[in-house]
Amino acid sequence: MPVIELKNLTMRFGSIAAADNINLNVKSGEYVTILGPSGCGKTTIVRMIAGILEPTSGEVYIDGKLMNNVPIYERNIGYVFQNIALFPHLNVWNNATYSGRVKGRDRERATKIGNEALRLVKLLNQKALYPRELSGGSQQKTSLARALCSDTKLLLLDEPLSALDVVERMGLRRELRRLVKTLNLTAIHVTHDQEEAMSISDRVVVMKAGKIVEINTPQNLYNNPKKIFTANFVGESNFIEGIVSMVDGPNIVVEMNDGDILRLKSHGFTYGDAIVVSVRPENIVLEKGEDNRENTVVAVIHDIIFISSYIRYVLKTKGGDYLNVDVPITSNKRFNKDESVIVIFDPEKTCVYKKPEEGLPEVLKLE
């Protein structure tokens, strides 16, 4: 299983840095997803790993070997494209086994690998069909089988599920991870879909505007994001600005713009620091009546939205901040529009960041 190392990797198109000083190590057998908004440089990175693009500067190493200027056909990779790109005049079998024939692999070995790849993606009974006769999911599985038939241990997947419907996407992403782990492959997967990245990855690389923002496991990125952009892009968060009015050991007291007070767990702040409090919609509790406990504020129900398994309450605080709060549809708690409610923050599930000098809206921008 190959190890991938990117050192100071940069790709410029004129004055635009599509990938800017990227440093990344992918361990043997690891499933790593590069996640970010459109145009952030995700595809540029995998194309440089593949050899489709030659970097402006920096190095690509596969198993310790420098790959710069090594042609794509000598890098021993499997590449699954976003647009599937099957040969329309070839059936599933001939599409899948194409790379083996091009490489001059003997017929017996090519047949064995082809059957194994199609069995793994569950397409053996459709091997005589042509792309036009397949669903989108089966077409993408054929593309994946073709990559597996290249007999590689490194799989590059460039938005492989974006053209599929929701049901096909959910099924195939489970299959992707199963295949990678079953075959002991190293995989680098590019996507802009947060749920996709979180469900299949060992680690996720979050990108913005050509730069790496943060790298961590899906659980850590969601529960303890180190950067404000990550808190907003991976999942969803509410943001409230405030000032540190007191430091008490491992706790800080935050005075929000409306005068409400929160006592939160955080280190590294001093009296007077401008901060941003972040909390996810499902980590806020709503109650009726009055409550004088710590970490509660009063707000009014501004809007109510039904979203499948939960109800979203859009709240407006007396300071003018808007908060999204998600209550499971199975809960017996129900609130009405224009009703005054108590908003309860859990310090264990609330993150605190230093207020960015460029301002919160600028940091949250996708480009």
| Digit-coded pLDDT (tens) for 225-267 | 999 999 999 999 999 999 999 998 888 999 987 778 889 988 7
H helix intervals, 55-187: 92-96, 98-102, 107-120, 136-149, 166-182
The token pair that represents 151 in the structure block: 């007999």
Domains and CATH numbers, the chain: 4-232 (3.40.50.300), 238-356 (2.40.50.140)
Lowest mean pLDDT among 5-19, 72-86, 175-189, 209-223: 72-86
State the sign of the Cα–Cα–Cα–Cα dihedral 273, 274, 278, 283: positive
State the average pLDDT over residues 267-284: 93
Q: Which residues pair with 24 in a beta bridge?
A: 6
| Digit-coded pLDDT (tens) for 31-72 | 999 999 988 999 999 999 999 999 999 999 999 999 999 998
H helix intervals, the chain: 42-50, 92-96, 98-102, 107-120, 136-149, 166-182, 194-200, 218-223, 228-233, 360-364
